[in-house]
Structure 1
Amino acid sequence: MKLFFLALITLGICFAQDGLSLENAITKVKANNQEIAIAKFDEQIKTLEHQAAVGQNYGSLDLSQAALRSNDALNIFGYKLQSRQATFADFGFKQFSGSNYMLAPNDLNNPSDRNHFQTKIEYTLPLYTGGKIEQYGKITKALQEMSTLDREALTLEKIYELKKSFFAISLLDNYLYNLHIIATNTTKLEATTEAMMQEGYVKKVDLLEVQSKQADVERLIKQAEANRTLLYYFISYLVGEPVTAIQGNYEEAETLLSSDERVLNDNLDIKKAAQGVEISKMNIALQESAFLPQVGAFANYGSSDEKLMNDFSKNDAYTVGLQIKLNIFNGGTDKNNLEKARVEHLKASQQLQLAKNSIALSFKQIQTQIQSHEYEIQSLKKEVELAHLIYENYAGRYAEKITSINEVLMKQSEELTKVLRLKEVQNARNEKIFELQKLASKEIQ
């Protein structure tokens, strides 16, 4: 029967060659995972925000077209002046005489309705902003880089989940193999017990105990198969396509060999904290710009007329100028904002140091846990082998009527417990190795 299961496992491995390898799965996660796709959009948004901030250095060019109609005296007079069409008659001079200088000029006060079309192009350029625009550009660039780190951290998290699933499936397959062997042995024991009962050597209760144990083993097999199916669903979710088989054997992950200094240099959380410190420095410079003058230049050119685009060059006009603005008092708002930026910088510096200390501690803790799991795995492998031999010995003695069925089943339970514990510790070791790889920002080992 053992040869049958060995052949079954070998056949499964052959079919698994058509399954998905871990390396290909990682590639698919990067390309298809929806969470990573959303993170890429966030990264693209931050890039566009940076480009928008940099664009402020080049000023703005605006084209405007006004179309107006009015009989308001002030507006009409202004329209005619803008169109270079004002005459003395517009002042009411045709009604003026030396004896009636107190007479209200009707042409001036009650003009006829008039259309007014004004076309104007205007360019404004910030010449000096105290470093405000420059710091906006630097901050948005840093936020863009921060979004890249966020995407990379999310990618590492998805790869971490993927590795755990691949290795868990391999360990489940091995666990199922052992469970099937135990089920086969229990079936043999059941046949032996049934034969002995017919000969009157044992009672029916012995047979029922064996059958109960067989049902328990079958339950564990069904649970393991259900967990394996769930893991395949999860892998399918991660890679963005259906996966029903994996390629390769993933039972024991390779231990990560990396120095503390290397981990601290590569860790993404530390990089993000360091980026936060740089952003807080830039924010201090940004708030300091509020105490410096703002200098800008502008130039506009346009034409106005009673008719749209009529004789543009005849009625054209231009204006150029500079503007200097300096805030003198605003209730202490700028001062408080600057102090807030300085406090945030101190906070960010402490967060960076905390991240370094925390990552260094986690690195040591995980290394210690991995070593502990490895020692336990070595011991459990020997215990599983020994438990199986003891069970076979007791099963043989039971067939020779030397021992009871209770002792045989007890030894089988001990073997099953050891097999389950070995799987749990192997899983725990693999997960810790993957956590270590995530701390060191390693995708695959």
Structure 2
Amino acid sequence: MNKLYLCLLIGSLSFSKSVDFQEVLDLTLNNNKDLQNTKLDIELSKLNSQKIDAVNFGKLSFINETSRTNHAGYVFNSKLSSREASFNDFGALQYNNPSKVNIEPTNLNYPKARTNITNKITYDLPLFTGFKLQKQKEILKLQQKANEVKYNLNKKELAFEVLKAYNNAVVAKEFIQAAQKAKEAISYVVKSASAFHDEGLVTKIDVKQAKVYKLNTNSKLIEAKSNFALALAYLRFLTSNDSISNVKNLKYISYNISNKKRLYKKALENRDELKMQNIQKQAMKKNIDITKSSYYPTVYSHLEYGFNDDKFTLDENKDYYTAMIGLNYDLFDNTRSIEKQKSKIAYQKSVLNYEKLKDAVKLQLEKALLDLKSKEKILKEKYEAKKLAQEVFDQSNLMYKNQLIAMTNLLEQEANLRKNEAELIVAKYQKSLALAKIATVLGIDFSDTNYNKGN
């Protein structure tokens, strides 16, 4: 039985994994289904662009049409098509009296049912479309570019989510460590109170107060472990990796933020939202050109070669061909100018949205820098507060041993120490998010291991 437990322990350890931020990020980016869907959108946009090229090559078709009918018009037309029409089809044998011009020929009006088989090859080719196909291809190319930018944007947003989740797990782990330290410290207080009580130096109530506090501390430890387990579960969900069982150190995104003007310029260059809006602006401009194409004529061609008979044949006496060039030009259509004006307005709106987004990025950067400045000051104060709280608790513990303060005072200082310790952990986490927020405003890709070089 002991060997079985040992094997299970070794097996569980072999499948457990302690990860850092980069490992979690790489796993998430490789396994994320939404990113994979965005990649497929890129492939679809490439195919849409290729479809325009295919249209320019025209369409070659083989068509087989087999029909059987006693419809007078269709029967006569099929005989003509297969070059089998005769005077008798017009009722020539019935026309024996020239004075009777209203004779209705039976052969023509009531023909026998006939099977007609047409086999043909057709080739349709647009010769000129008023530059419409060309402009549509350019727009589809922009759509492909937009999907690529969208993929990068989704990847950056996912990276920020991963950083929050990873650092949240690290913080949850630190809360466990803090709760364990608190449990050890209060266990020592309980032990001291029990010893003092045995010597008659304190009352029983001191021991009970310390034990109650110890139970509450143990509850906080259980809660901290539960929060850590939930944080790990979320990481396993993001990464699609069930072996993650621990995390390493808190992740800080480092970047040189000394020059605000340079940062704003960097944000304008890197932000994918701006790139997408700029692509939208270009697409709207090309859409104006598409509306202009309706003022041009369209030229097209149709080539056809086939055979027509009451049976399948390749007899050259039954073949035919058709070659046609067509031109379509709208002399008057007042809706064209309306569509043109609408496309111009859409372009103007896209220009305004682009400028509006630039202003929004500037505001986001300003808020992110102010938030970081605030979080750094708070963190500095929390370090000092925790240090002083530790000193006060150590001094209170000494005073309690010398019977200078009551147990309630000692427990109050211990609670104050743990409160400041927790606030310090939260402050470190908030600073890490503030740094990451600046990086996202600047459009930095966390997945690029060189993102903090050459700043």
Q: Say whether the fold is shared (TM-score over 0.5).
A: yes
Task: Structure 1 unaligned segments of length 5 or more: list them.
Answer: 1-13
Cα shift at 1:360? 1.9
Q: Deviations over 1:70-107 (max 9, x none)?
A: 11221111101111111222222233335454233222
8 Å Cα contact 1:288-1:338 kept in structure 2: yes
Aligned to 2:346: 344
> Structure 1 residues 239 and 132, CA, compared in 2 at 3 Å: closer, same or farther?
same
8 Å Cα contact 1:295-1:324 kept in structure 2: yes
> What are the residue-to-residue correspondences of 1:368-387 with 2, within 5 Å?
368-387=370-389
In 2, the alpha carbon distance for the partners of 1:121 and 1:247 equals 68
> What are the residue-to-residue correspondences of 1:4-403 with 2, within 5 Å?
19-102=18-101, 103-246=103-246, 248-250=248-250, 252-255=252-255, 257=257, 259-308=263-312, 310-329=313-332, 332-403=334-405
1:408 aligns with 2:410: yes
Aligned length: 430
8 Å Cα contact 1:305-1:315 kept in structure 2: yes
Cα shift at 1:252? 4.2
SS at match of 1:152: helix
Cα shift at 1:16? 12
Q: Deviations over 1:112-138 (max 9, x none)?
A: 221100011111111111122112212
SS at match of 2:245: coil
In 1, the alpha carbon distance for the partners of 2:199 and 2:289 equals 96
8 Å Cα contact 2:169-2:228 kept in structure 1: yes
In 1, the alpha carbon distance for the partners of 2:204 and 2:290 equals 87
- C-alpha root-mean-square deviation of aligned residues, in Å? 2.3
SS at match of 1:295: strand
Counterpart amino acid of 1:173?
A: K
Task: Structure 2 unaligned segments of length 5 or more: list them.
Answer: 1-12
SS at match of 1:430: helix
Once the two structures are overlaid, the 10-residue window that deviates more, 101-110 or 149-158, is: 101-110
Cα shift at 1:358? 0.9
The TM-score normalised by the length of structure 2 is 0.88
Aligned to 2:9: none
Cα shift at 1:248? 3.9
> Structure 1 residues 252 and 435, CA, compared in 2 at 3 Å: closer, same or farther?
closer
8 Å Cα contact 1:20-1:243 kept in structure 2: no
8 Å Cα contact 1:92-1:108 kept in structure 2: yes
In 1, the alpha carbon distance for the partners of 2:88 and 2:349 equals 73
In 2, the alpha carbon distance for the partners of 1:15 and 1:423 equals 31
In 2, the alpha carbon distance for the partners of 1:186 and 1:92 equals 120
Q: Deviations over 1:389-441 (max 9, x none)?
A: 21011011101101122221221122111111111111111112222222323
> Structure 1 residues 223 and 253, CA, compared in 2 at 3 Å: closer, same or farther?
farther
8 Å Cα contact 1:301-1:317 kept in structure 2: yes
8 Å Cα contact 2:210-2:411 kept in structure 1: yes
Counterpart amino acid of 2:409?
A: E
In 2, the alpha carbon distance for the partners of 1:109 and 1:182 equals 108
SS at match of 1:314: helix
Counterpart amino acid of 2:277?
A: A
Counterpart amino acid of 1:300?
A: E
Q: Deviations over 1:137-174 (max 9, x none)?
A: 12222112212222221111221111222222223333
Percentage identity across paired residues of the two chains? 19
In 2, the alpha carbon distance for the partners of 1:286 and 1:252 equals 49
8 Å Cα contact 1:46-1:140 kept in structure 2: yes
Counterpart amino acid of 1:47?
A: K
Cα shift at 1:269? 0.8
8 Å Cα contact 2:16-2:243 kept in structure 1: no
In 2, the alpha carbon distance for the partners of 1:251 and 1:267 equals 22
In 2, the alpha carbon distance for the partners of 1:22 and 1:227 equals 19
In 2, the alpha carbon distance for the partners of 1:205 and 1:234 equals 44
Aligned to 1:9: none
8 Å Cα contact 2:163-2:251 kept in structure 1: no
